[in-house]
A = this chain, B = another copy of it.
Amino acid sequence: MGKLREPLKEITNCGLPQALEVMGERWSFLILRAAFNGFVHFEEFSSELGIARNILSNRLAKLVDNGVLQRTQCEEDRRKVEYRLTEKGLDLLPAMLALRQWGERYGAVEPGGPVLVDAQDGQPIAQIGIRAADGRELSWHDLAWCEPDQVGKPCC
């Protein structure tokens, strides 16, 4: 990293706390994980996650308010409601998987559970990393902060 730094005090203008607000809370995270695993109905979330119904109801409403889940009527049965990931919600997946891979690499996760693969060839997905615009892998040492009007100029 070069000499230019982010304005570190201005947490309100950083995207990360906003993301953590959505998925940093334990139950919200569990609901999101279940949604990524294909759950859509209140009763499915309730029985699978073992969350108290009032908490589940509250967290689902918050995720809908945040635009991460969409609340719609089930097409086959109009009395049923579905909670589906929006595009904004689906876009959380790289961050969730990167955190998950980190936890798997360094945490006390026991091996032997299901492996996340590319359905096409059954091969485990790659480690999520940082890449340049042209696809080269980058490490922390390759990065720099740049004023908007200096973008495109080498800054070492």
Contacting residues, chain B, for A131 (C-beta < 8 A): 125-126, 128
A56-91 CB mask vs B (1 if < 8 Å, else 0) is: 000000000001000000000000000001001011
**Distance in Å: Cβ of A151 to nearest Cβ of chain B:** 5
Q: Is the CB of A132 within 8 A of B122?
A: no
Cα of A36 to Cα of B46 in the assembled complex, Å: 39
Q: Which residues from B are CB-within-8-Å of A100?
A: 14-16, 19
Known: A102-B95, A118-B142. A17 touches B8 (CB 8 A): no
Task: Using CB atoms and an 8 Å cutoff, list the residues of chain A in contact with chain B.
Answer: 1-2, 4-9, 11, 13-20, 23-24, 26, 29-30, 33-34, 36-38, 48-50, 67, 85, 88, 90-126, 128-136, 138-140, 142-148, 150-156
Pairs A–B under 8 Å by Cβ, sample size 20? A1-B36, A6-B114, A8-B34, A9-B48, A16-B96, A16-B99, A18-B108, A20-B24, A67-B106, A92-B102, A94-B129, A95-B95, A113-B148, A114-B148, A115-B147, A116-B144, A117-B151, A122-B152, A126-B131, A135-B135
